[in-house]
Amino acid sequence: MTIAPPDFLRLAGHRLRWELLTLLADGDRPVRELTALAGQPQNLVSYHLAQLRSGGLVRSRRSSADGRDTFYALDLHRCGELLTGTGAALHAGLRLTPPAPPVPPQGTRVLFLCTGNSARSQLAEAMARAGGLDAFSAGSHPKPLHPNTSRIMRERGLDPSGHEPKSLDVFRAEPFDLVVTLCDKVREVCPEFEGGPPPVHWSIPDPAIDGSDAAFAACAEELAVRTGFLLARLAA
């Protein structure tokens, strides 16, 4: 009897697809960047991205800064599910167990940036602080905190007090271990922060544009997943 290997092995086992997954593990990227980093023709990169997307390992989202660009993001949660199933498919004793809650090094400083600093970056800051990071947030064009931002924080057991919009200029001279841009527009104008690594990008729609409870709930859920994986990365 022939038994087909699990989908994760089929998808991730290809050398170029594995390289693309590894590049996307660092943050969301457009095809042109993936093409340059992989050193492969764009049509080949696009083909393998389509394979990864159809397999549920990668998501795509049109850029809100330049509609000609599409950002690709690694679905880490889905990858974790497929990896668990892959081990169990070979032997019951290889089923992965959930890791212990990550504990990042004390004093790790992370800055979250978006355009308005009214929703996405504020939520990310609150979640990262709850996870033990020295987290901050700012915007390129700060706007008043959206009422749904405070509501979502309270619903998730986070403290909204002290969350005020700030300009990214406030932090230009400060050192950070990591800078995360949450907005395609602010990614284009993000300044260099001395001594730190290049910014990581998470392409997340602004829930304040829609303003609905559903938009904020979806944003908060995506940020919770991404922040959880960020904590694990920094803890490692």
Sheet containing 109-114, strands listed edge to edge, beginning at the edge strand earlier in sequence: 134-139, 109-114, 178-181, 200-201
Residues in the chain: 236
Cα separations in angstroms, 228 against 107, 126, 187: 17, 12, 22
Which among 73, 82, 190, 219 is annotated as catalytic? 190
In the annotation, is 190 catalytic? Answer: yes
Query: 213-235 and 147-155 are packed helices; what angle lies between their axes, rounded to 10 degrees?
Result: 60
In the annotation, is 183 catalytic? Answer: yes
* Residue position matching structure tokens 């990550």: 102
Q: Tell me how far apart the alpha carbons of residues 95 and 5 are, in angstroms, rounded to a whole number.
A: 16
Which among 183, 186, 223, 230 is annotated as catalytic? 183
| Cβ atoms 15, 58 nearer than 8 A | no
Q: Tell me how far apart the alpha carbons of residues 133 and 138 are, in angstroms, rounded to a whole number.
A: 16
Q: Tell me how far apart the alpha carbons of residues 17 and 164 are, in angstroms, rounded to a whole number.
A: 42
Tokens linked to 224: 């919770």
Q: Tell me how far apart the alpha carbons of residues 35 and 47 are, in angstroms, rounded to a whole number.
A: 11
Which among 49, 76, 114, 153 is annotated as catalytic? 114
Q: For strands 70-74 and 29-30, give the pairing.
A: antiparallel
In the annotation, is 114 catalytic? Answer: yes
Tokens linked to 146: 């959206």
| Cβ atoms 40, 31 nearer than 8 A | no
Residues with catalytic function: 114, 183, 190
